[in-house]
Amino acid sequence: MPNAPSDEPRRITVRRRGPMLVEGPVEIELEDGSTVSSDRFRVALCTCRRSRRYPWCDTSHRARSRE
C-alpha cells in the first residue's frame, strides 16, 4: 500500500508561479468530497485555479497573449 510508514517520503515541489509537482501515484480528494487519481510518475497540480482540468494543471497559468 502506498504511503505506508516505511515508504520513502513523497516529494512535492512548490513553485511561485505554476503548478505544484507531486510524485505519483496520487489520489486527491476535492472540495466536494469526490476523488480523482493518477498513476503517473509525477503530476502537476493546479494552484492558480484557472485550469479547465482542475485539479490537474493544463498550463493555463501561463500568459495567454503574445505580442
Binding interface with ligand FES (CB under 6 A): 18-19, 46-48, 50-51, 57-61
Least distance between ligand FES and beta carbon 4 (Å): 30
Would you say 43 or 46 has its CB closer to ligand FES? 46
What are the CB-based long-range contacts (under 8 Å, 24+) for 47-50?
A: 47/18, 47/19, 47/20
Least distance between ligand FES and beta carbon 6 (Å): 32
Least distance between ligand FES and beta carbon 45 (Å): 8
- Say how many C-beta atoms besides its own lie within 10 A of residue 24's C-beta: 15
Distance between CA atoms of residues 55 and 19, nearest Å: 10
